[in-house]
Amino acid sequence: MRKITELEFDNTYRRLPEEFYHVVSPTPFDNPHLVCFNPDAASLIDLDPKEAEKNEFLEYFSGIGQISGSEPVAMYYTGHQFGVYNPRIGDGRAILLGEVRNLKGEKWDLHLKGAGRTRYAREFDGRAVLRSTIREYLCSEAMHGLGIPTTRALCIIGSDEKVQREKVETGAMLVRMAESHVRFGSFEAFFYREQDDYIMLLADYVINHHFSHLKEEENKYKLFLKEVVERTARLISAWQAFGFTHGVMNTDNMSILGITIDYGPFGFIEEYNSEYIPNDSDHFGRYSFENQYSIAYWNLKKFAQSSISLINRDEAVEALGNYESTFKQSYLKIMRKKLGLFEKKDEDSKIIQNMLSLMEVGKVDYTNFLRKLSDFSLNGKGSNNALRKMFIDSGIFDQWESVYIDRLKAENIDQSVRKKAMERVNPKYILRNYLAEVAIRKAVENSDYSEIDRLHQVLRNPYREQPENNGYSNPVPDWARNLVISCSS
């Protein structure tokens, strides 16, 4: 394990032309303090967890000091926000501190969110607030626990600094990690400036560092687009299967690596609702749960358009054509596992869709229903009353129960084998909004950060029964049913 001063930086993005970034250092906090630290993320860069106890750690990640070799920059990108192109985005409040190579040779960006104003900040203050950093810290780690590709969170740095949002809040910084923070919008920035040479340079950079298996291919740009399409399709299929709604799927929030990035007003579905909208500023439901599939495809078309100087239109259309089939194949694979189906059958899609439709009518908790489904009995005749009672009108469950029994019987799989397999893909715990809210209120109102760590420990192992933490799987309580999640952070 390494000390923080021994981290090995290899700042590949900084070696691109200066049009790709703004050289800038973080604006430090006065009186910073450590809110929480994630040893799991630290292990990705071989960082000794004991380093978090040192003043140097706090100074480096609050902007007071700089780690030797880090070379901070704010990344340049643009993008479509709620369907409208915005040429003035970029890292307005985040700074890429540097890229660290671990002992395996893997590269990880250290990205400091809330680090202060950069040239891309426009009229904004460049800060993040404690509320939003807690949500991102917890959700990125919860997504990792679920097995969904995501950025990671190393730590949160708190402060006494006051930040004006809808109300005055406390400023904070989050250190997040990813193999790359390049986005669809990174390519759009140069497309709309008609800088084809920079588009090629960026594509070559991403291919060489993150799609190296393609760099010697004659048609590498077409294959690159195809792989981005397929990675994105698989990511969205996981979001849909686990009930995650991102909330702000702008093209600048879409990773070129097909990972979940930029957690804002997200939410996991609780009572199943295909029209669920977690973002209180999404007045027309553009980024609702059911729209994520089509919006991701829309975003991919914008990315393909920005790459049109590298490939021709027919190649772009062909690559985009892989989206639907990849999504359906990936989604059905996950959902078959969730329903304990070991074989592929044509009727599975209908069985899944009927289940979701009935859950929506019955206002059934999505995560808890699928978890309890592992105890489903093929005997019928009241043996599945625990599931039946989850529906407002329990009679509608009967419509689906008999069909599901016939489907399970067709496979002749031992029930204990099926149960274990289903529990490996149906989590007991997700980051419900009210759980995050409890942790936030304790932190903001009482400077009590213990609930963040406690909740993180639960979400690290979402598939394992944790009797001491069973309360964390409870459905949303009445007091939290109308929680509003704001875009502002």
Catalytic residue among 91, 109, 252, 365: 252
Where helices occur in 373-473 by DSSP H, the ranges are 385-388, 395-409, 415-423, 433-446, 450-460
Q: Which two tokens stand for residue 126?
A: 């460049």
DSSP class per residue in 19-78: GGEEE----PPSS-EEEEE-HHHHHTTTB-GGGGGSHHHHHHTTTSS--TT---EEEP--
Angle at 356 between CA 139 and CA 470, to 5 degrees: 45
Place of tokens 């040429």: 87
> Whole-angstrom Cα distance, residue 259 to residue 269?
20
Cβ count near 321 (within 10 Å) = 12
Q: With beta carbons less than 8 A apart as the criterion, state whether 32 and 93 touch.
A: no
Q: With beta carbons less than 8 A apart as the criterion, state whether 376 and 409 touch.
A: no
> Whole-angstrom Cα distance, residue 331 to residue 39?
32
Q: How far is CA 271 from CA 367, 368, 479, in A?
A: 9, 10, 15
Q: Is 252 a catalytic residue?
A: yes
Dihedral sign from CA coordinates of 66, 71, 73, 75 = negative
Give the residues across from 260 on adjacent strands: 150
Distance of CA 450 to the CA centre of its chain: 23
Amino acid at 62: S
Distance of CA 417 to the CA centre of its chain: 31
Q: With beta carbons less than 8 A apart as the criterion, state whether 422 and 369 touch.
A: no
Residue positions annotated with a catalytic role: 252
